[in-house]
Structure formats: structure tokens, C-alpha cells
Structure 1
């Protein structure tokens, strides 16, 4: 119900896309025609590659993000949530599990704590058996 609701903004964008272009990121028209604000042409590779950098600069945030940093963060978050690699690959476009390892090789604090608790449990069990 707020003006800057991300879902409302996304729906507003979808309604203004060119219905003849199957891509989400379309080249904008110089002036809207019949409620359509975009041409029947997808944004090119270079334009899309600069998309996150441009948004970061315009918004004035302290970090300049790239499309790649968003992809890497997605892999890290999904891996920490213990989502299977094959599912992560289906949304990130990675072709091999080995390419995910550079992003997901770090053990987060929550997992370290679980590992520590499991080791402590085994040590306590062993100590109880030796009494």
C-alpha cells in the first residue's frame, strides 16, 4: 500500500513493456505510444552489463554494484540456506557445479556453530562412556 512498493513498481513496469518483445529489459521509446513505453527490442549485452553500476551511481549508495556481484551474492545466500547446487545453477545460469565453489566455498557463522555443537556432542558422549 505504499508508493514505493517494489511489487507495485514491478507490476507498473510490466504493464508498460512492449507486448511483442519477450524480454524483460527492453529499450525505452523516446515517447510512449498507446501506453507502451518500450520498443520491440531487448537491451543489448553492454547496456545490460552496465545496468547495476548505473543504478548504484544514480542512487548514491556507497558501494558500486555490478551484475556479477548480484550473481555472486545470490549464490552465497542460497548456498548458506543449503539449497542444492543444481537448483542454484538453474537460476544463476552456471553450467558446472565447480563454478559455484568460488562463491560458496566459505562457511558461514551459523554452519560453523552447528559443526562445533556436533563435535562437542560427540566429545561429551565419548567422555560419558569412559566414566
Structure 2
């Protein structure tokens, strides 16, 4: 592995980018900014991208299809994150529950996508 490659944030054979369809890209940006402090870069009126430490992604105009992928986010304070999701307009689909290895909850965003948040 070269020095340049070792400094690359991309992890071999790991999820690197997630793209969502959204009926309202600006609403999606507002929701994810309020819930998770995501930062966005707009590429025209129909596309916005977010950059994370581990996974990048974007939102483009279109009609979402529920149930295709479950994206799971990590939180150091799951209760606070759940409160932020609710305050931003998300709907809790499964309240916080325990599973081997931690706790998590599921929510739907304003476009109807179901995501999960987990914590130790």
C-alpha cells in the first residue's frame, strides 16, 4: 500500500456512497442537518451531496421506494439522537431496543425512508 493510498478515507470493499431519491431535496437537507449535523454541497437544483468520515452520499430528485436498503447510523448518545430526529420531523418506526452488541431504534424520514441508529 502506498502512502497516498493509506491516507485515503475509502475502505476497500466497504460502503462508500449512498444515494437517496427525495421528493424535496431541500427538505431532506434540512432534516439531516437538524438530526445529524450533516453538511451538504449542492450540484444544481436536483442534487445535493453529503460527505462523511466513512460514507459519502447524496440526494437527487425522485420518488423514494421504501424498504430497499436499511442504512444504519452510529450514535454516542442514542436518546439525544432520537430526540433530534423527532424534533426534525422524523417518525419513530421502532423505539429504542436492545440487541446483542448494543441498542438501536428505527425511524422514517420525511420522504418515508426507514433508517436505524445504533449505539453501544
Q: Tell me which interval the TM-score lies in, with the shorter structure as reference length.
A: under 0.3
* Greater share of strand: 2
- Look at both structures and tell me which one has the larger radius of gyration over its CA atoms: 1
* Greater share of helix: 1
